[in-house]
Amino acid sequence: MTDTKRPVKIATIGGGSSYTPELVEGFIKRYDSLPVRELWLVDIPEGEEKLKIVGGLAQRMVEAAGLPMEVHLTLDRREALAGADFVTTQFRVGQLDARIKDERISLKHGLIGQETNGAGGMFKALRTIPVIFDIIRDMQELCPDAWLVNFTNPVGIVTEAVLRYTDWDKIIGLCNCPISMRFGIAKWMDVDPSRVRMELSGLNHHFFVTDVFIDGKSCFDEVLERYCELPVEELGTMKNIMAIPWSNRLIRGLRAIPVSYLNYYFSTREELDQLTRDYEAHGVRAEVVKQVEAELFELYKNQDLHVKPKQLEERGGAHYSDAACSVIDSIYNDRGDIQYVDVRNNGAVSNLPEESAIECAAVITADGPKPLAIGELPVPINGTIQMIKTFERMVAEAAVTGNKDLVVAALVANKLCDSDAVANAVVDELMEAHKDYLPQFFNADGTPKDEREAKALTSKVCALA
């Protein structure tokens, strides 16, 4: 253990999340290189009970590790942000009940309602972006030099909104999908993951692996063929996505390996059928997650528990700390290593806007991520990526301006919706269901805001003061 490094203060917004033990474990493992002396776990009054439970486990984990790390629990976000070096965000506006509504209402109308795709992802973004902007306003005042490391979904749309409509550029979006894919490729190729580097082309939950390097040498042809030979159960997928094998013809035609979330777009019928059957049998995915979460918090209450429980992986938290803690460690120590992040494009992908968010391999330095050049997106994957970027930009603009017409147009632009009439019905019902969390669309008394005012704002950049 070293005492020569500058101590670090980290504020975690959404500290009562069931994922928090992953984060704490990551900071404990890295304490010698990343001396986190203050970890502030922040939540809202509705999440206070969970904050106390998971915060208690966090404190026991640190105590068991014998580290001089103070874990503070608070409902006062500004207190936590004051002087922070890094701010991590992992919250859910409206909690899991809001996600349940997204999924149920979408499925009722025959649409996939998953939390980062289609109608569900869109409404999660509409609820989340105003809160992220409020956090950034506080950061500008209380910790203007801090980095915002966001895990709150939908990461791509949130990052897009911050980069496009605020003057805050110290934001990194993170997801555990790229790390999971790197581990998977290493397993297929029978090498240590440290030897593997990937080229990612695309966006959060909508990217493709377009090259693989082992010990710095491209071996993509070999990786593609190995991928095509493996049974689906060995390929790996996220726990909330049905593992549907893509045809070898598709993989070879794309000359790319899609992230598993692309099942929603490449196997839409099959995914929708399965989600509908699950819904009729035992409820939507969010209801399953709610049960898993309840079981986790029962475990967390055990005063003898002082490590992250294995069951957390059932929540989908595998490699969470690897992504979040590694990028913080690399910025703090100016490591110059390569990680997979959501950042401003800055020309890395030549046929996407420079100011837009992309998910890519980047060199992580003390000045932040430097995306590695990709060039022009290959024709076989360009269309689907452009479609989602259009959707992301329209949703981000609607979240800032409160333009309900743009919300409908955005959903129609997404491949997961094939009907203007259905889009209108779903948007109307979800708007009503979530109006308490949509201040850009509704007044405090629940009445709709004047859409003419929203349309007048559509072309304006709403930078934060």
What is residue 245's predicted lDDT score, i.e. its pLDDT?
82
Residues in the chain: 465
Q: Which residues of the chain have pLDDT under 70?
A: 1-3, 232-243, 313-318, 451-465
What is residue 405's predicted lDDT score, i.e. its pLDDT?
97
Q: Is 261 known to be catalytic?
A: yes
d(CA 302, CA 320): 23
What is residue 5's predicted lDDT score, i.e. its pLDDT?
87
CB 330 within 8 A of CB 364: yes
Which residues make Cβ contacts (< 8 Å) with residue 243, sequence separation at least 6?
232, 233, 235, 237, 260, 263
- Give the active site residue among 19, 31, 227, 261: 261
C-alpha angle 168-172-173 in degrees, rounded to nearest 5: 120
What is residue 160's predicted lDDT score, i.e. its pLDDT?
98
pLDDT one-digit tens code per residue, 175-195: 999 999 999 999 999 999 999
Residue of 101, 99, 90, 105 lying closest to 47 (CA atoms): 90
What is residue 455's predicted lDDT score, i.e. its pLDDT?
53
Secondary structure element (H or E) that encloses residue 203, with its range: strand 196-203
